[in-house]
Amino acid sequence: MKLLRELFFPLVAVLAAFVLGGIFVWIIGDNPFETYRLLIGSAFSWPDGIGYTLFYATPLIFTGLAVAVAFRCGLLNIGAEGQLYVAAFATAWVGIKFGGTVVDVFGTPVNYSWVTLPAVLLVPLAIVTAIVAGAAWGAIPGVLKARFGSHEVINTIMLNFIAIALVSYFTQYHFKQAGDPILQTVPVGAGVHLPRLGSFIPGLPTRIPLNLAFLFALVACVLVYIFLWRTKWGYAIRATGANPTAAEYGGISTGKQIVLAMAVSGALAGMVAVNEVLGYRYRYYDGFSANYGFTGIAVALLGRNHPVGVLLSALLFGMLIRGGIFVDAFSGKVSKDLVEVLQAIVILFVACEALFRGSFGRFGLLKRSKV
Amino acid sequence: MTEIFTIALIFSTIRTATPLLLAALGGLYSERAGVINIALEGLMLAGAFTAAAVTHYAGSPWAGLLAGIGAGVLVAAIHAVACIRFNADQVVSGTAINILMTGVPAMLSGALFLSSGSTPQIPRDDLIPWTPVVLALLLVGVTWYVLYRTPFGLRLRAVGENPEAADAAGVNVNGVRYSAVLLSGALAAIGGAYLSIGQSSLFTRNMTSGRGFIALAALIFGKWRPVQTMLACLLFGFTEAISIQMQGVFKPWGEEIPVQFISIVPYVLTIVVLAGFIGLSRAPRALGIPYQKEK
Amino acid sequence: MLELRDITKRFGNVLANDGVSIKVRPGTIHAIVGENGAGKSTAMRIAYGFYTADGGDILVDGEVRRISTPHDAIALGVGMVHQHFMLVEPMTVAENIVLGAETGGVASLDLGKAADEIRALSDEFKLSVDPRATVESLSVGQQQRVELLKALYRRARLLILDEPTAVLTPPEVEEFFAILRRMREQGKTVVIITHKLSEVLAISDDVTVMRDGRVVGRVETSRTNAAELARLMVGRDVLLRVEKTDAAGDGAAVLGVKDLTVTARDGKRRLDGVSFEVRAGEIVGIAGVEGNGQTELIETLAGLTATGHTASGEVEFEGRAITRLNSRARRELGVAHIPEDRHRRGLLLDFDLAENSILGDHYRKPAVSGFGNVFLNDRGIRARALQVINDFDVRPPDPDLPARSLSGGNQQKLIIGREFEINPKLLLVSQPTRGVDIGAIEFIHRKLVALRDAGCAVLLVSAELEEVTALADRLLIMREGSVVGEVDPKRATVEEIGLLMTGGK
């Protein structure tokens, strides 16, 4: 019964989005049913449909969890995008500086490394780097809010632009191979590559980039659940988000929780780097994120800021991204941008509904800060 | 050195500042009335796309501009209803509008022009390269006048600071807020239209590329006041203009200053100002808080 | 001039106004007195159209009128100065006064002309307010006069003033009364809501006394006295009885407060040199009209000094200075705190009962266990929750329910049970039975006495005079941030305490 209640409004929101999206498709002169068949149907084929859906869902699970953790503390982290960029670059840097000899874009072997670490050390080091870099970038708006009361929404937006500009600078001026027409770093060493799941699962070809990071994402769901609901830290974070004055009464330092929640949120966003850099592109590639950070907001809201919900809605959005490519290719007039339209409508509906029931609880914090 | 600081640079600064200024003034109306508007980016995109598309069909930039304004108002109405009628979180609603407006123009241009997100080229004679610039500068004065010299402006400021007091004085709080958000849609849309049918000659996917957020930054940097906001827009416009001009020319220590360092100036300044390091930038007190009676 | 007939207003479960009828004669100053929560402000906010009544009529000049917004009231010549000023602080005096009553066209806001008018009004009533000053630069007294001008500018004939003297210093009060008398001479009618009897006697022509949402007395001021009004205001027909023995009274001092002063950011003293002791095995009650420093006292003792407030003086617990300890450290020593506002402070409404039962103890056993005491111990938490639920008869007895779904009485029992769980040596308790049904009130009272008998020191604040006198072994009376007297609750009369509370003496 409780589960049904929790599922009801998200389902209504998704349904409403599909109906409105369908009307929109019909207005621009295409067949909504055919469009939705392409959009959804293409996700279920084996191995490509399922493989790619899970691959696209992976970064969304991480960013969805990131937004959810912050949300549970009463914070809106619009900065997952910047956090994952910083983490991706830092991770690539580790892979370049400790990864050993690589083959550059012109096919020549080169060594950019200081030391070549074995994979057993290098992979964990790269993952820890992703986590730490994301956490550090995420903690900045947390500290600014706890210390100066400046609003996390504006600061995270600004930090997104700063992050993207900074990593673009480092890429362009220090880590790009001269003559490479694409704005990307040199490749990371082979030792830091994460295995693709195709290497373990029969019938799943390794050309599909679904990799170990997907399993990490599943683990992250479990860990986030444990952290938020099964540890004293999670309790303090959730209490701060639910009612900061009561949390204070309960001896909880709300400022510390804000910094902690933002750091954990940033760390989760940073894990996107593991999927993209270590599991897929094997280098930092400028502009690699297809708005994963912002889609994470939709994923978290639709998933009711709970890991299980986040997982489900990330799979839905992963499916839509996969299907969008098919819509683009095979539909007459509809483009993959339909996915964004659906996403936006979902957020709008969930936002209006969430406050209907007063379950947002973030006004306590909002009131005290300057926007 | 001297070849950089020319008349051309001044004009270039004003032209780059224009879309920022129009959007920031739009944001000013909305935020001074107490409604957070991070949807400026989306509102600009709505205006940019509609203006380009209608100009293409109608052959008149004025029709395009008007249609763009209409689109901006329409999209702003979604934000207004969500925030004012349904008490939606204003930041979340704004984010949704921004995502919506990357999708809708791209889909429409795909359907109308069979392109992946851009409109056809508009002939040179159908562009309005200077009118919006003049309009933007005029609007600074107009906004100042409206804000400080008309009953509407007085009510607007009161509603954003202390809606309960305004209500007690007989002001229709939500009515004022609706008008303010719709106005912000119109102004941001003009800013967007200037990008597509003023500065360039077509709409391209995400052509605002973050200008809505820079406008928001300018609004905060300008402490939610019209003249200061204009100065902030000019400063941010200048940083963009000079970073374009400096490329490959200006080498103070043998190397050029990376564009990226100049482009982050507005964002860094905004963070610094928000934290209270350069004078206090105090937001309207009721910003972000829906007004509910008898609570 | 103004008449309320049989006004009824309900907020949720609370009947704020129950058949209230008030008649204000034209050209008089009419005082409405009563304790906080008696329904005075509600009745007057209805008259001003800020709230809509559930039943009853409003008559202006003898005719039944519909007043559903402040706009309607203003049109009928009714103005109101709220207890919390309705002013937009960064704007100027003139802007505030003109707001909502602008003259001229859409495109012009002739503040110059308005300023002249305001200056004329200001001179007429000797208010000496500069229309060009910004409101935030004015003193509280001046801001109040801006509010008066706002009403006068709108040509109000009747002015409703809600607790106008609460924010004023004694000389300012004198000045303010002079203004009110001048208004009466000019033919204006004034309604003044207050709980200070000395002021009622000094300024008013008629008095209406309210208690518990009802009118309990209507008299001409010249025919009454402070003692009679105090009895009407706070007295009860049936006195509450609590079974208890006399306190041993010879326990060691658990709490020592010396010269405690709390200053707000604006320099106003919320607590002013408060000193007292609470010994083991006694209940010290604090009586007083709400808003006279009780909140600040309890919160400061609990280690929750509000942001922007600064505290000075000494707080000792079992002879040891705890002035600098935070709330968690104080709790670890054995200081429990039942807050006055259970929704704001006491509960996480969206959390379930089990999670609420460990608020304040979530980081220590039995709430945590395992590696480094990091993980919440579900079994320990449930056991704690069930203990509280059983001991305090919380209904429904389901630890998985959200706290929001409980009635006020059960929410309160949950909080009290939680605080009792730490076996406190000192209990700070504020408004323990507010919004709680009769059965739960008796239950809570018995538990408080039992805790005292077990040797705990209890500091009890309540706006219910009846409650503190029944429970306390010693009774302190607070007014304007100071302790103004101590009485023996068994001997003192309601009049005596009422006069101390209201400064009627």
CATH number for the domain spanning C140: value is: 3.40.50.300
CB atoms within 10 A of CB B141: 12
Phi/psi region, residue B256 (left: phi>0; alpha: psi -120 to 50; beta: rest), is beta
What's the pLDDT at C241? 65
What's the pLDDT at C455? 92
Q: Residues of A numbered 240-279 whose beta carbons fall under 8 angstroms of chain C's beta carbons: which are they?
A: 242-243, 245-252
In degrees and rounded to multiples of 5, residue A370 shows phi and psi of -85, 140
What's the pLDDT at B241? 85
Q: How far apart are CA A105 and CA A109, in angstroms?
A: 9
Crossing angle between the packed helical segments A338-356 and A2-27, to the nearest 10 degrees: 140
Crossing angle between the packed helical segments A232-242 and A254-270, to the nearest 10 degrees: 110
Are the beta carbons of A78 and B95 separated by less than 8 Å?
A: yes
pLDDT digits (tens, 9 = 90+) for A241-257: 999 999 999 999 999 99
Give the domain ranges of chain A: 61-318
Do C377 and C255 share a structural domain? no
In a domain, B158, yes or no: yes
Are the beta carbons of A370 and B288 separated by less than 8 Å?
A: no
Q: How far apart are CA B247 and CA B257, in angstroms?
A: 8
pLDDT digits (tens, 9 = 90+) for A254-278: 999 999 999 999 999 999 999 999 9
What's the pLDDT at C232? 84
**Residues forming a β-bridge with C15:** C10
* Residue C68 at interface with chain A, using a CB cutoff of 8 Å: no
Contact call for residues C209 and C30 (beta carbons, < 8 A)? no
Q: Which of B250, B261, B248 is nearest to B2 (CA)?
A: B250
Q: Provide the residue-wise pLDDT of chain C in tens; the chain has 505 residues.
A: 899 999 999 887 778 899 999 999 999 999 999 876 788 989 999 999 988 999 999 999 999 999 988 889 999 999 999 888 899 999 999 999 999 888 877 778 888 889 999 999 999 888 889 999 999 888 888 899 999 999 999 999 999 999 888 777 667 788 899 999 999 999 999 999 987 788 889 999 999 999 888 999 999 999 988 888 888 887 654 445 677 777 766 788 999 999 999 998 878 889 999 999 999 999 999 998 878 899 999 999 999 988 778 999 999 999 999 999 999 999 999 999 999 999 999 999 999 999 999 999 999 989 998 888 899 999 999 999 999 999 999 988 999 999 988 888 899 999 999 999 999 999 999 999 887 777 788 899 999 999 999 999 999 999 878 889 889 999 999 988 999 999 998 888 877 887 888 776 5
Are the beta carbons of A159 and B78 separated by less than 8 Å?
A: no
What's the pLDDT at B252? 63
* Residue C201 at interface with chain A, using a CB cutoff of 8 Å: no
Q: How confident is the model at residue A67 (pLDDT cuts 50, 70, 90)?
A: very high
In a domain, B194, yes or no: yes
Domain limit, last residue, from C395, C422, C449 = C422
Do C167 and C19 share a structural domain? yes
The CATH number for B210's domain is 1.10.3470
Structural domain including C207 reads 2-234
Q: How far apart are CA C143 and CA C456, in angstroms?
A: 46
pLDDT digits (tens, 9 = 90+) for A22-64: 999 999 888 999 999 988 888 888 899 999 999 999 999 999 9
Are the beta carbons of A158 and B270 separated by less than 8 Å?
A: yes
What rounded mean pLDDT belongs to chain A? 90
Do C203 and C155 share a structural domain? yes
Residues 6+ apart with CB under 8 A from A281: A184, A288
Contact call for residues A141 and A262 (beta carbons, < 8 A)? yes
Do C254 and C226 share a structural domain? no
pLDDT digits (tens, 9 = 90+) for B81-127: 999 988 888 999 999 999 999 999 999 988 888 887 889 999 988 89
What's the pLDDT at B294? 52
Domain limit, last residue, from C196, C214, C234 = C234
| Residue C500: both structure tokens together | 């101390």
Do C402 and C267 share a structural domain? no
Do C177 and C78 share a structural domain? yes
Do C351 and C293 share a structural domain? no
What's the pLDDT at C239? 47
Q: What percentage of chain A exceeds 90 in pLDDT?
A: 70
State how many domains chain C has.
3
* Pairing, β C29-33 against β C189-194: parallel
Cα-based distances in Å from A14 to A313, B23, B104, C419: 10, 32, 18, 44
Which chains reach chain C with 3 or more Cβ–Cβ distances below 8 angstroms?
A: A, B
Chain A nearest-CA residue for B87: A355
Cα-based distances in Å from C268 to C82, C85, C169, C226, C294: 20, 17, 10, 28, 15
Chain A nearest-CA residue for C365: A232
Q: How far apart are CA C94 and CA C87, in angstroms?
A: 11
Q: How far apart are CA A320 and CA C418, in angstroms?
A: 48
Pairs of CB atoms within 8 A across A/B:
160
Residues of chain B with pLDDT below 50 are 1, 295
What's the pLDDT at A356? 47
Contact call for residues A241 and A260 (beta carbons, < 8 A)? no
Q: Which residue has the tokens 């004025």?
A: B62
Q: Which of C116, C135, B217, B43 is nearest to A151 (CA)?
A: B217
Structural domain including B243 reads 7-274
Q: How confident is the model at residue A370 (pLDDT cuts 50, 70, 90)?
A: very low
State how many domains chain B has.
1
Contact call for residues B35 and B90 (beta carbons, < 8 A)? yes
**Shortest CB distance from A144 goes to which of B111, B260, B271?**
B271
Contact call for residues C468 and C284 (beta carbons, < 8 A)? no
Mean pLDDT check: name the lowest of A222-231, A329-338, A357-366, C207-216: A357-366
What's the pLDDT at C419? 96
pTM to 2 decimal places: 0.88
Chain C nearest-CA residue for A241: C348
**ipTM summary value:** 0.90
Residues 6+ apart with CB under 8 A from A270: A83, A84, A86, A87, A130, A131, A132, A133, A134, A135, A137, A138
Are the beta carbons of B162 and C87 separated by less than 8 Å?
A: yes
Which residues of chain B does A302 touch, with a Cβ-Cβ cutoff of 8 Å? none
Are the beta carbons of C107 and B150 separated by less than 8 Å?
A: yes
| Residue C492: both structure tokens together | 């003192």
What's the pLDDT at C394? 93
Q: Which residue has the tokens 């009953």?
A: B151
Cβ-based interface (< 8 Å): residues of B facing C: 148-155, 157-158, 161-162, 164-171, 294
- DSSP structural state of residue A107: S
Do C271 and C398 share a structural domain? no
Q: How confident is the model at residue A362 (pLDDT cuts 50, 70, 90)?
A: very low
Q: Which residue has the tokens 């400026």?
A: B40
Do C299 and C361 share a structural domain? no
What's the pLDDT at B3? 59
